[in-house]
C-alpha cells in the first residue's frame, strides 16, 4: 500500500516513514490529517514496486502527525 500526499499541482509525495502506532488504522489516516488548502491524501495499491532514485537530492516533507514523505515520480 502506498500512502501519498498530493499537492494542488498533482505531484505525489509517498510516505517513507510513519510515526503512527502499529495498532492505528492506516486506512483512516487521511481523516486524521490537517492538510493545507488544495492538498489531498490517498492510499492505494500500486501496480508495480516503487523505487525512488534520489541522486543525492531529497524533496521531503512531514505531515502534522510527523509522518515523512518523499516526492515521487509519476506512478500508475
Residue 47 and residue 2 in contact, taking contact as beta carbons nearer than 8 Å: no
Task: Look at residue 55 in the predicted model and tell me its pLDDT.
Answer: 75
Task: Look at residue 59 in the predicted model and tell me its pLDDT.
Answer: 87
Task: Look at residue 52 in the predicted model and tell me its pLDDT.
Answer: 76
- 13-71 pLDDT, tens per residue? 999 888 876 556 777 888 999 999 999 999 988 888 887 777 777 789 999 999 999 99
Element (H, E) at 32: helix 29-32
Task: Look at residue 72 in the predicted model and tell me its pLDDT.
Answer: 83
Amino acid at each position: 500500500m502506498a500512502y501519498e500526499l498530493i499537492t494542488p499541482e498533482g505531484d505525489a509525495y509517498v510516505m517513507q516513514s510513519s510515526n503512527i502506532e502499529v495498532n492505528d488504522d492506516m486506512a483512516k489516516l487521511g481523516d486524521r490529517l490537517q492538510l493545507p488548502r488544495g492538498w489531498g491524501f490517498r492510499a492505494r495499491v500500486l501496480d508495480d514496486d516503487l523505487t525512488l532514485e534520489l541522486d543525492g537530492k531529497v524533496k521531503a516533507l512531514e505531515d502534522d502527525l510527523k509522518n515523512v514523505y518523499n516526492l515521487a515520480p509519476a506512478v500508475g
